[in-house]
Amino acid sequence: MDQFISANGAEDHALLLDCSDLSFKLVPIPANVALVIANTMVKHASPAANTPRAARKWKRPLRSFGKHRPGVKFLRDATLNDLGKWGQEMSPNALKRARHVVSENTRTVQAAKALLNGDFKTLGALMAGAHWSYSHDFEASCAEADAMVALAQICPDSSARASPAEASAAAPSTLWN
């Protein structure tokens, strides 16, 4: 994705990418908005890494969905409603990983809409929700990144202020733990 944004991005715009067909939409970022992207510079390994073993684990949730909705070929095709209906057929870890992917897809579309509508409180909550989902469901964060997000949430004039519960409420997920 880094190469995609480098090739297709535009100054002062966010990019909403649909990985199924590589279509994208540039979303203007108003001049009065500053998005802070920070790097902890901490090396960490993700248990959900993109390895052949991990790829096999992704197929398990897809099989659960496929039994009920044959059109679900990728997790991006599943919905939060699907998780609510058939998530119990997955292992707890598979459910957490699938919940992150499905809710993240929902959040990115909602974040683009919030940005277009100038709804920065919702945008901040969605971004915080993305981090907490990445940390708790995908289990791919680290203590340092969690601390950076927590600090951002208490900064004055920060739209990123949201507890994990408030952040998850910004996406229509009833599956947050």
Q: Per-residue b/e over 104-131, b at no fewer than 16 CB within 10 Å?
A: bbbbbebbbebbeeebbebbbbbbbbbb
CA atoms in the 13 A half-sphere facing the CB of 82: 25
User: Could you tell me the sign of the dihedral formed by the alpha carbons of 150, 105, 33, 23, in that order?
Assistant: positive
**2 given a catalytic annotation:** yes
User: Of the residues 2, 18, 21, 146, which is catalytic?
Assistant: 2
Distance from C-alpha of 74 to C-alpha of 97, rounded to nearest angstrom: 13
- Catalytically active residues, by annotation: 2
